[in-house]
A = this chain, B = another copy of it.
């Protein structure tokens, strides 16, 4: 028996509350007024960039729970992760948050992965109140994947700028809020891209595959959604996504990419756009969820896209596996 491509959740899982936190550059971008909180400087008063990112995630989780009017004691499970080796931004944030915790690693696909898993757990009432969160920080990601800031490495035009940002969502089986009504877990797709400064190209084929699987599984067309949102393909990856889908006879006029929304590419020197687990997470929570809640959007398809390499596999000459998960969100009508 072959599996179903897409899981439909019936009533779905409600996103009862959400929060978004940004750093300095994110606060100077087009979404500056949409974040719940913008930090004026990226150290957040901490001694290391790793601690700063941890603090970013703590801020975001606390804001989300406050907006959802529940305490950490009432949370059944937190699903979270980040880009640092061994996901330490999240693990260390969990010391103070104190809820039951299951760590995820999906690189920049973490938010959609967490929301997809969380929607299953919450909508089935097995674990009703699930907190999903993730973050990224420009300075930790440069050290983790490229070179420490002090090295002053040059960027290429295809490079993306890792967002200093976090997003968090609180799920519940019922209540008010946008609902996750269907989801498609991605498969790893690797078309042998080896350029760590062109992750958009590595992730675009995975995004295309997941979009096609989801549309097929749901029996929908792109026009059935108010927007089809990808996480952080940036300029290069977005162009490739359009090329792939046009080849399948499916133009995407309503495509939005969080990596192209978070910054002003003309003035903010982010090359091909934003990236990082916090990019799609914060843009979802700052921009799309409020509009779904207000009824401005009726239905969107949201994908976070991940590039699953490490600095070690990159130095060993390995190619970059891409992964994209999709969740379908319905607004409050």
Residues 257-271 of chain A, each 1 if its beta carbon lies under 8 Å from chain B, else 0: 000000000000000
How many A residues, CB 8 Å from partner?
64
Cβ of B120 and Cβ of A124 under 8 Å apart? yes
Residues 105-137 of chain A, each 1 if its beta carbon lies under 8 Å from chain B, else 0: 111000001001100110010110100000000
Measured between beta carbons, the chain B residues less than 8 angstroms from A184 are 100
Measured between beta carbons, the chain B residues less than 8 angstroms from A107 are 86
Measured between beta carbons, the chain B residues less than 8 angstroms from A99 are 187
Q: Which of A170-189 contact B (CB under 8 A)?
A: 184-188
**Contact status of A75 and B3, CB under 8 A, knowing A104-B105, A117-B117:** yes
- 6 new A-B contacts, CB < 8 A, other than A102-B104, A124-B126, are A83-B86, A91-B188, A92-B313, A94-B321, A101-B323, A102-B106
Cβ of B308 and Cβ of A187 under 8 Å apart? no
Most buried by B among A51, A103, A129: A103
Minimum distance in angstroms from A133 CB to a CB of chain B: 14
Q: Which of A1-47 contact B (CB under 8 A)?
A: 1-4, 7, 9, 47
Cβ of A87 and Cβ of B105 under 8 Å apart? yes
Measured between beta carbons, the chain B residues less than 8 angstroms from A187 are 94, 98-101
Minimum distance in angstroms from A145 CB to a CB of chain B: 9
Distance of A316 Cα from B92 Cα, bound (Å): 13
| Chain A residues touching B, majority SS | mixed
Minimum distance in angstroms from A194 CB to a CB of chain B: 13
**Contact status of A312 and B117, CB under 8 A, knowing A7-B127, A94-B188, A127-B7:** no
Cβ of A310 and Cβ of B84 under 8 Å apart? yes
26 CB < 8 A contacts A-B: A1-B74, A2-B73, A3-B100, A50-B312, A50-B313, A51-B316, A85-B310, A85-B311, A87-B105, A88-B309, A91-B321, A94-B321, A95-B321, A98-B187, A98-B188, A100-B186, A101-B185, A101-B188, A102-B106, A102-B116, A102-B185, A102-B325, A103-B106, A103-B308, A120-B120, A120-B124
Q: Is the CB of A81 closer than 8 A to any CB of chain B? A: yes
Q: Is the CB of A190 closer than 8 A to any CB of chain B? A: yes
Q: Is the CB of A318 closer than 8 A to any CB of chain B? A: yes
Distance of A92 Cα from B184 Cα, bound (Å): 20
Minimum distance in angstroms from A244 CB to a CB of chain B: 19
Minimum distance in angstroms from A186 CB to a CB of chain B: 6
The residue in chain B whose Cβ has the minimal distance to the Cβ of A86 is B310
The residue in chain B whose Cβ has the minimal distance to the Cβ of A190 is B95
Residues 159-174 of chain A, each 1 if its beta carbon lies under 8 Å from chain B, else 0: 0000000000000000
Q: Is the CB of A76 closer than 8 A to any CB of chain B? A: yes
Q: Which of A190-228 contact B (CB under 8 A)?
A: 190
Q: Is the CB of A77 closer than 8 A to any CB of chain B? A: yes
Measured between beta carbons, the chain B residues less than 8 angstroms from A185 are 77, 100-102
Measured between beta carbons, the chain B residues less than 8 angstroms from A325 are 102
